[in-house]
Structure formats: structure tokens, C-alpha cells
A and B are shown apart, each in its own frame.
Chain A
């Protein structure tokens, strides 16, 4: 309470660290899938690539703090939340759509459901620090 916080310090730095880990995981998975077997499941692999991009941009947004950084992070976390829920539902309803696993399949169950929790934490953190950035 007493301390003023920006999105890139304190718990925010932990959040950025986890975002970085997911950026690495999603980027390498997407890179590998697209490079070696793109034809097998183009939708799933492009989605992996999109997820990877979002994790990277969100991490940068949170790390840069400031007005633009916050807005970028807000957009990324929102898209991420919508994405993980939509893909989670779609992957349950129609398995044909995503024949290969993505970071977001089954609500991110392959990654301990952290992909589902992460955008919520990100949005919560942006909300908690909303008065501190001016």
C-alpha cells in the first residue's frame, strides 16, 4: 500500500519473468513446428506463433511500464485471455481443428493451466498499479 509501484517492479518483475518463460516456450515450440511440419496442422502452428508473439509483446509492455507499455500490456493480456478460453473451448468441441497441441489447447493443461492464469494475473496487476504510473 505505502509503496508506489510500477508494472515493472516487485511482483510485476515476477510476472515479467513468467511471461518471459512462456515467450521462450511458445516461441521455440512454434518455430520448431513451423520449420519441421507446417503442413500437418497449419492452424495450430500459426496459433502457437501468435501466442508466442503475444507473450513477448506483453512482457515488453509490462517491462516498459509507462502509458504506452500499460496499454500494450492491457491489449495483450485481453487477447491472451480471450484466446486461451476460445481455443480451450474449441479444442474440446472440435478436436479436428487443432490436431496438434498448442500452448492454449485444453485451456493450457499441457502447461499446468498457467496460460489461463497468467492473463488474469496480468490484468489484475495492471488494475492494482493503475494509479501509480502517472
Chain B
């Protein structure tokens, strides 16, 4: 019943679940950038931020998997799951490298990875919505 609406509105990787990790990631990136500019090694805030970001990304991932389990399909399944796996690996990668580099460059690494994360979230959304386009 009713006209067919945009597929995008049903996307499980849209709205608040995607906005939260994007905003979090940018906040951590900004904080890490300030630390790098001030010659500070990665601090507690950065590591806690990475942990919270990882939780937010895992929530996003679980919701996506639940949607797929419920019969929904991403537009490009291969790319979608590729991005999803990459996404949840990014904060741990930043964490490990930042631990190895307790200098301003560790903060720079956290900043770089936290700038890439929102891009991957947006790409993830695009690979879900391809069918609607």
C-alpha cells in the first residue's frame, strides 16, 4: 500500500547511529590535533575517546548485521561488509600505533585515523543506499 519511498530512509546505518560515531571521531581528531600541535603525546582523553568511538562503531555494526539478519540487503554487499570490517578495526589500529609512539606523533596518528573514520562511515552509508539511486 502507498507509493514506494526512497530506500535510503530504511537504511540501518543512517541517522543517530551514524551521527554519533562521526561527531565523536571528529571531536577526538580535534583534541588529538591540539595535543600534536602542543608537542603532547596521546593522553587519557584520546585513549578513552578511541574506546568510546569503538563502542559506537560496534553498535553501528551490530545494528547493520541485525538489519541484514532481518532480510534487508545493502546495495553493494561486498563493499558494505568490507567497509564495516575496516571501520571497526580503525580505532584499535590508532590505539596500538599511539601506544607505540608516545610522542606528539602518536597524537598525530590518532588525529589522522579519526579523520579517516567519518569518511569510511559515509562510504558505508553510500554502499547501503546504492539500490535507491
Closest chain B CB from A19 CB (angstroms): 11
Instruction: Classify the secondary structure of A's interface with B.
Output: helix
Let me know if B78 and A35 touch, CB within 8 A: yes
Residues of chain A in range 56-91 having any CB-CB distance to chain B below 8 Å:
none
Which A1-52 residues have C-beta < 8 A from chain B?
9-11, 13-14, 16-18, 20-21, 24-25, 28, 31-32, 35-36
Please state if A13 and B100 are interface contacts (CB–CB under 8 Å).
Answer: yes
Residues of B within 8 A of A11 (CB): 105, 108
Interface class of chain B by DSSP = helix
Interface contact B103-A17, CB-CB below 8 Å = no
Q: Mark A112-123, 1 if CB is under 8 A from B, else 0.
A: 000000000000
- Measured between beta carbons, the chain A residues less than 8 angstroms from B86 are 24-25, 28
Partner among A9, A18, A35 whose Cβ is within 8 Å of the Cβ of B101: A9
Contact between B97 and A13, CB atoms less than 8 A apart? yes
- B residues near A18, Cβ cutoff 8 Å: 112
User: Contacts A20-B93, A21-B113 known; A14 to B108 CB distance under 8 Å?
Assistant: yes
A13→B112 contact, CB < 8 A: no
- Closest Cβ of chain A to B97, distance in Å, is 5
* Shortest Cβ distance from B78 into A: residue: A32
The docked-state distance in angstroms from the alpha carbon of A10 to that of B109 is 10
Expressed in whole angstroms, the minimum distance between the Cβ of B108 and any Cβ of chain A is 5
| 22 A-B residue pairs with CB within 8 Å | A9-B101, A10-B103, A10-B105, A11-B108, A13-B100, A13-B101, A13-B105, A13-B106, A13-B109, A14-B108, A17-B93, A17-B97, A17-B109, A21-B112, A21-B116, A24-B86, A25-B86, A28-B82, A28-B86, A32-B78, A32-B79, A35-B78
